Amino acid sequence: MSSPDVPNDAPAVAEAGPGAQATAAAHLSDATILGRASVNDVDAIMDLCSTNADPDATEHVTPDNADAMFTWDYEKGQRPRLEKLYEKAKVSQWNVTTDLDWSIEVDPYEAFSIMAELGPETGWTTDPTSPIYNWGDKEMRDFSYESFTWRLSQFLHGEQGALLCTAKIVETVPWYDAKLYAATQVMDEARHVEVFAKYLNEKVENSYPINPHLGILLDDIIADSRWDMTYLGMQIMVEGLALAAFGFMHSFTEEPLLKKLLRYVMSDEARHVAFGVLSLQEFYTELNAAEIRERQEFAFEAAVRMRDRFLQQEVWERMGVPVRPMVERVLDLPEEQKVFQAMLFSKIVPNCKKLGLLDAADGWLRDRFTEIGVIQFEDYVDTASEYGEFSIDQERNAEAAAG
């Protein structure tokens, strides 16, 4: 773990280092990894939500047996790219209370419309066998509001998961530069929890409990004792999906408070994902075939859990719509109609490729990502190379000069 910072064009695990031998390692079956018969096992997907813990509970305990790692090596800058990220984070902090205009009136029914997801191309509102046959403008408007509320609620719960995971990274990562950066992310995540809670409470006045698929993934990430698995699960998978989801919502909303809120959060999230890529790119060159295989399997499991999360079972239930047939219809959509679901992986897939996880073990993870319909993003730019493009520093400086 004392190897120097790896240059941006360092070869991936599949091409160099011990991980290159991953082709000799056997993978677990999809059923063993996911704990169900197949990726699209509707019964298992439904059962997880039906057996969810008390939705009104306000506390949840997850065992965490990781070792806290002290380092007595305080030499700063041994990993220059992490030091650069740390310096960037120190000057890019923003304040939920003062940097956003909370006097803006918000109509949550108009803040973010997702009617396109139920549009004519699906045929769901015109098919007599569909549970939402003959839905009109009122039903579509109500669904848009509930779906919007549900998404923001899951963002909120995910940000608290990130808060706990980043605090764990401060404890467990052995590198001084990484500890310093992770400490700035703890503050970022606290701010994200605050901002989504405030928006939901004051502007939307509605919320949902944590989705069981997201909850089980966060439990798995926190419960794993290995520090790099916390990075992989949170920084690469959960935060990578969040960055894409925030970008999607930012592009389609015209609500000014939400648009600025998302823009600020995205500037933080891009640094967080880059932090994961830069750290794991170095560490993964030291892993053997079996260890790389475990990381691939965990990435696949996390991807499926997050895909299942966006089936929105709780929304259909609250709307009084039979849940199972809607889940089946979403899963059976042609790939060209799963635009939103696929776009959520536009950051995850290239980052996994950057880490060498996509093509290790004869391309096992590539095959799994192909199976769930997201491999087309593999050549998108990785976040470690683009995080600077998300910076809000110039915008904030311009606002300060104008105001």
Site of tokens 């018969």 = 37
Site of tokens 């880059």 = 274
CA distance 154 to 97: 22
Strand, helix or coil at 277? helix
pLDDT of 55:
67
Q: Directed axis angle between helix 212-223 and helix 137-172, to 10°?
A: 0
Considering only CA atoms, give the Rg of the chain. 21
Q: What is the pLDDT of residues 309-329, one digit of tens each?
A: 989 999 999 999 999 999 999
| Position 161 confidence tier, pLDDT thresholds 50, 70, 90 | very high
294-to-77, 123, 143, 337 alpha-carbon distances in Å:
31, 41, 39, 32
Contacts of 219 (CB under 8 A, 6+ apart): 62
Q: What's the chain's length in residues?
A: 403
CB of 383 within 8 A of CB of 270? yes
| Cβ burial, residue 236 (10 Å; 0-12/13-18/19+) | buried
CA distance 55 to 307: 21
What number of helices (H) and strands (E) belong to the chain?
A: 17, 0
pLDDT of 262:
97
Q: What is the pLDDT of residues 354-365, one digit of tens each?
A: 999 999 988 999
DSSP state of 241: H
Cα 112 to the center of its chain, rounded Å: 20
- Give the chain's domains with CATH numbers: 30-52+63-402 (1.10.620.20)
Residues 40-65 have a mean pLDDT of 78
% the chain with pLDDT above 90? 65
CA distance 28 to 216: 20
| Position 10 confidence tier, pLDDT thresholds 50, 70, 90 | very low
